[in-house]
A and B are shown apart, each in its own frame.
Chain A
Amino acid sequence: MVDVVLMPPFDRELGGGDDRLELEAASLFALVAELDRRSPGFAQAAGLRATLAVDGMVTGDWSQSLSGASEVIVMPRIAGG
């Protein structure tokens, strides 16, 4: 199991207001698929809207294994000028 921390606005969209979930997922792709099951459409938009961090490190490789990982943070993708 991995702790999933949902930063706003994903706490409301995916957690029904809760900002923490416990999920079983082998990889980030699998985790996103599980979140999509809870909130249909998330997977399609996640690549555009969300950034994922595994144990404190942001990663763009969603094939990354979650074996041994303890925490995944789902945060909004940032923008700049």
Chain B
Amino acid sequence: MNAPERPDAFKTGDLKVVGTRPVRPDGNDKVTGKAVFGPDFKAANMLQGALLRSPHAHARIRSIDIRKAEALPGVKAVVTREDFPTLEDILMNVGETAGSVLDLSQNVIAREKVFYDGHVVAGVAATSEAVAREALALIEVDYEVLPHVIGIEDAFRPDAPVLHDTVFTRGLDEKPEQPSNVPLRMRQAKGDVEIALGDAAATVSGHYSMLPVHQGYIEPHACVASWKADGKVDIWCSSQGAFNVRGLTSAILGIPTGTIRVMPLEIGGGFGGKTTVYLEPLAVVLSRKAGRPVRLTMSRTDIFRASGPAPGAVLDVRLGATAEGTLTAAEVEFKYSSGAFSGYEVFLGISSAIGHYNIQNYVVTGWGVLSNMPKHAAYRAPGAPQVNFAVESAMNELAEKLGMDPLELRLKNAIRPGETSMSGTPHGEIALVECLEAARDHPHYSEPLGPNQGRGVACGYWGNHGGPSTASVAVAEDGSILVVEGNPDIGGSRASMALMAAETFGVDYGQVSVTIADTSSIGFSGVTGGSRTTFATGKAVVEASRAVVEILCDRAAKLWNVDRAQVEWRDGEAICGAGEKAGETLSLARIAAKADNTGGPISAEASVNPLDHLPGYAVHICDAEVDRETGHTRILRYTTVQDVGRAIHPDYVEGQMQGGAVQGIGWALNEAFVYDANGRLDNPGFLDYRMPVASDLPMIETVMIERPNPAHPYGVKGVGEVPIVPPLAAVAAAVSEATGVRMRDLPITPDRVHAVLHPDG
């Protein structure tokens, strides 16, 4: 993705705090139930909100009658589409990319039509949840039920029910004359694939599929909004970005950004699914109408029915190689579902498809497909796991055909530093080769297998991101260091920021406190997503810390009455280098105590927009055992190897590697959105939507390959997303070897395995 060339900026070997494993500052509160998550927050005089959701997958709303609901005692406000402004279809920042405000607004509350089972139609605020729910039953909605479509191939057909008559496929040679459910086609090509495939010594091809899966965060979406007497708005919610909530709510409601203040609460998982808004604009409008704070919370059923899953996909892959295993051609075509409104995963799928290999001839084509499902949302490396499943499965098949070890085949073709990425820029300090070598040499890879057992491998990458972040650092009167950031702490970023600040100051980790600020208390920061926070916000923290160290040295110089140039900062204290005081030291606490006499409070703020991030690579090894009677698959052993840059807090890097792998295993083996014939979600709960739990899996083994990013003061690369990329193909390959049947459709559920093992029933 990028090629920073500033090796002088990175000093290795002298880190004292970075790379240690202290207890996270928020840990005790989170494990003792004291932390305040989204559904925990209460405001004085707060009302309870409830939402009426569509029972239909696709219907025109003829009318909504709220009079009976409004008349119910205890009801303070009822809102419908009439309470929301008509918007122009403009683009704005949504998480880390551009999105349509009109689409977002329509996803928050239906206008002319409902587009999926669970689409919000109206909201109520009342003195209790029971009264609010009673009021929902009194709202009369007259629907004209329309034909619906769920499956990707069904929605792609020219005679499919069309969701939006304004959608015409972009990216074709000519604009289509008819609207369709296909908003986008993208293609990236190089060389001549057909000739290369024709000349290849070995080729493989395959058709692959998977259904949408949910992010599965434990904490439900929840918020409290208060429209105040001065026309300003307070919102308390958990999200992956308070500034993102502020901006989207402002755009959807047409109110100035500066009037909204978003207070971030602790977040119980997001994985990309909390980079958008569902409830906040509704709660604000309810509060404005009721004149009191309003709380909205999604039930688990609501979450499954109406918050974004990751795209399902159908994919076709052809690969060609020489007899020695050099890849010569790749043809990849995929269709991604995006729900009822356009998404952005297609271009991420294009860039993620084959970018970890050096291939001279390729064509990658992606299509986005609309259908009557909730608008899809980001999920950990959005768009990458799906296409990686197909490409890496084909790689395993190619290795078998060539008689090569699958890791050696990958090593022969792996992208290396200096080679060109899919986006056209040269790669910097990447470590895919080192990851593949470490996997090949790992004891796991040579461990013998038993009957009905198989081993699979896969590798993948994710581009990571940087982007805007702000942090402030202040020295308290006693020398304590106070860091303020604008990014919610999802994966241990308080600890990481404290470690980087402590390293920069040369003090103990315990001397630094980190606070997550609201949107009116710190400058703009992008979402905690895209594997960007430790990298970008970390840069802001280090930059602000360095500025404070500079101030501290200046203050010490004043106290010693020497030139600033004669003061050095080392191990948390100033050292005088000249004059009568040469060799004397001043501690942080002593300088802080004299702050009022040397210039006043000591603090600094840094706003950064770094784009010199580097991608992350991962190689996974999976051992699986199949029960031939039941078709059940058990994961026996699982190892992840990852290019992590510098691990600031190794525990949390390993946690990301393990968490991503487990989510990918669930995607491979169990998870899928299942709709009935009426387009209603059939499994909107954890009993029927089966995610892996701790007792299902062995401990996920981790191997961190530390090749620092020279563009970051402590060598950080993003680590949170790439671990979900390889598991789908690694698990499928293991099951394929165990069963002797190539598994190309996910999830690999017991009934599916049983069917391939017992084709006659």
Are B1 and A58 within 8 A (Cβ)? yes
Q: Please, how many angstroms separate the alpha-carbon atoms of A56 and B718 in the complex?
A: 20
0 or 1 for each of B503-543: is its CB under 8 Å from A? (1 = yes): 00000000000000000000000000111100000000000
Query: Is the CB of B320 closer than 8 A to any CB of chain A?
Result: no
> Assuming the A-B contacts A5-B424, A58-B425, A73-B425, are A81 and B3 also in contact, with contact meaning beta carbons closer than 8 angstroms in the complex?
no
Are B379 and A60 within 8 A (Cβ)? no
B438-466 at interface with A (beta carbon < 8 Å): 462-465
Query: Is the CB of B49 closer than 8 A to any CB of chain A?
Result: no
> Assuming the A-B contacts A45-B98, A77-B98, A79-B382, are A9 and B424 also in contact, with contact meaning beta carbons closer than 8 angstroms in the complex?
no
Q: Please, how many angstroms separate the alpha-carbon atoms of A48 and B530 in the complex?
A: 16
> Closest CB of chain B to A8's CB: distance in Å?
5
Are A56 and B3 within 8 A (Cβ)? yes
What residues of chain A lie closer than 8 Å to B531, measured between beta carbons?
80
0 or 1 for each of B1-32: is its CB under 8 Å from A? (1 = yes): 11110000000000000000000000000000
Are B91 and A80 within 8 A (Cβ)? no
Are A81 and B272 within 8 A (Cβ)? yes
Query: Is the CB of A12 closer than 8 A to any CB of chain B?
Result: yes
Q: Please, how many angstroms separate the alpha-carbon atoms of A46 and B612 in the complex?
A: 19
Are A81 and B529 within 8 A (Cβ)? yes
Are B721 and A48 within 8 A (Cβ)? no
Are A80 and B530 within 8 A (Cβ)? yes
What residues of chain B lie closer than 8 Å to A43, measured between beta carbons?
none
Please give me the residue from chain B that is nearest to A58 by CB atom: B611
Of the candidates B184, B188, B423, the one having the most CB atoms from chain A within 10 angstroms of its own CB is B423
Are A48 and B425 within 8 A (Cβ)? no
> Closest CB of chain B to A71's CB: distance in Å?
8
A59-81 at interface with B (beta carbon < 8 Å): 59-60, 73, 75-81
Are A45 and B275 within 8 A (Cβ)? no
Are B271 and A81 within 8 A (Cβ)? yes
What residues of chain A lie closer than 8 Å to B171, measured between beta carbons?
8-9, 12
> Assuming the A-B contacts A48-B92, A56-B3, are A79 and B611 also in contact, with contact meaning beta carbons closer than 8 angstroms in the complex?
no
What residues of chain B lie closer than 8 Å to A56, measured between beta carbons?
2-3, 425-426
| Complex partner residue of A58 from B2, B270, B350, B382, CB under 8 angstroms | B2
Are B347 and A8 within 8 A (Cβ)? yes
> Assuming the A-B contacts A48-B92, A56-B425, are A78 and B188 also in contact, with contact meaning beta carbons closer than 8 angstroms in the complex?
no
> Assuming the A-B contacts A48-B98, A56-B425, are A78 and B187 also in contact, with contact meaning beta carbons closer than 8 angstroms in the complex?
no
Query: Is the CB of A7 closer than 8 A to any CB of chain B?
Result: yes
> Closest CB of chain A to B75's CB: distance in Å?
38
Q: Please, how many angstroms separate the alpha-carbon atoms of A75 and B270 in the complex?
A: 27
A1-52 at interface with B (beta carbon < 8 Å): 5, 7-9, 12, 17, 45, 48-49, 51
What residues of chain A lie closer than 8 Å to B275, measured between beta carbons?
81
| Complex partner residue of A60 from B91, B184, B609, CB under 8 angstroms | B609
Are A78 and B351 within 8 A (Cβ)? yes
Are B2 and A48 within 8 A (Cβ)? no
| Complex partner residue of B423 from A9, A73, A81, CB under 8 angstroms | A73
Q: Please, how many angstroms separate the alpha-carbon atoms of A8 and B96 in the complex?
A: 18
| Complex partner residue of B380 from A17, A57, A76, A81, CB under 8 angstroms | A81
Are B380 and A53 within 8 A (Cβ)? no
Are A49 and B1 within 8 A (Cβ)? no
Query: Is the CB of B97 closer than 8 A to any CB of chain A?
Result: yes
Are B96 and A78 within 8 A (Cβ)? yes
Query: Is the CB of B378 closer than 8 A to any CB of chain A?
Result: yes
Query: Is the CB of B299 closer than 8 A to any CB of chain A?
Result: no
| Complex partner residue of B382 from A12, A59, A77, A81, CB under 8 angstroms | A81
> Closest CB of chain B to A6's CB: distance in Å?
9
B461-477 at interface with A (beta carbon < 8 Å): 462-465
Q: Please, how many angstroms separate the alpha-carbon atoms of A59 and B613 in the complex?
A: 11
What residues of chain A lie closer than 8 Å to B463, measured between beta carbons?
78
| Complex partner residue of B611 from A48, A60, A81, CB under 8 angstroms | A60
| Complex partner residue of B425 from A12, A57, A80, CB under 8 angstroms | A57
0 or 1 for each of B344-370: is its CB under 8 Å from A? (1 = yes): 100110110000000000000000000
What residues of chain B lie closer than 8 Å to A59, measured between beta carbons?
611
Are B532 and A8 within 8 A (Cβ)? no
| Complex partner residue of A7 from B184, B377, B424, CB under 8 angstroms | B424
Q: Please, how many angstroms separate the alpha-carbon atoms of A56 and B423 in the complex?
A: 10
What residues of chain A lie closer than 8 Å to B465, measured between beta carbons?
78-80
Are B378 and A79 within 8 A (Cβ)? yes
What residues of chain B lie closer than 8 Å to A58, measured between beta carbons?
1-2, 425, 611-612
What residues of chain A lie closer than 8 Å to B186, measured between beta carbons?
8-9
What residues of chain B lie closer than 8 Å to A57, measured between beta carbons?
2-4, 425, 612
Q: Please, how many angstroms separate the alpha-carbon atoms of A80 and B384 in the complex?
A: 10
Are B529 and A80 within 8 A (Cβ)? yes
> Closest CB of chain A to B753's CB: distance in Å?
29
> Assuming the A-B contacts A48-B98, A57-B2, A60-B611, are A80 and B721 also in contact, with contact meaning beta carbons closer than 8 angstroms in the complex?
yes
Of the candidates A5, A7, A48, A78, the one having the most CB atoms from chain B within 10 angstroms of its own CB is A78
Please give me the residue from chain B that is nearest to A71 by CB atom: B424
| Complex partner residue of A79 from B170, B270, B271, B348, CB under 8 angstroms | B348
Are A77 and B97 within 8 A (Cβ)? yes
Are B425 and A8 within 8 A (Cβ)? no
Of the candidates A8, A49, A77, A81, the one having the most CB atoms from chain B within 10 angstroms of its own CB is A81
> Closest CB of chain B to A17's CB: distance in Å?
8
Query: Is the CB of B95 closer than 8 A to any CB of chain A?
Result: yes
List 15 A-B pairs, Cβ < 8 Å. Answer: A8-B186, A45-B98, A49-B91, A51-B611, A53-B2, A53-B425, A57-B4, A57-B425, A58-B611, A78-B348, A78-B463, A79-B382, A80-B96, A81-B273, A81-B275
Taking Cβ atoms with an 8 Å cutoff, the residues of B that contact A are 1-4, 91-93, 95-98, 170-171, 173, 184, 186-188, 215, 270-273, 275, 344, 347-348, 350-351, 377-382, 423-426, 462-465, 529-532, 609, 611-612, 718, 721
Additional A-B contact list (11), CB under 8 Å, known A7-B424, A73-B423, A78-B530: A8-B171, A48-B93, A49-B98, A53-B2, A53-B424, A60-B611, A78-B1, A78-B97, A79-B96, A79-B530, A80-B721
**Which 6 A-B pairs rank lowest in CB-CB distance, beginning with the nearest?**
A81-B272, A80-B530, A81-B378, A48-B98, A79-B97, A58-B611
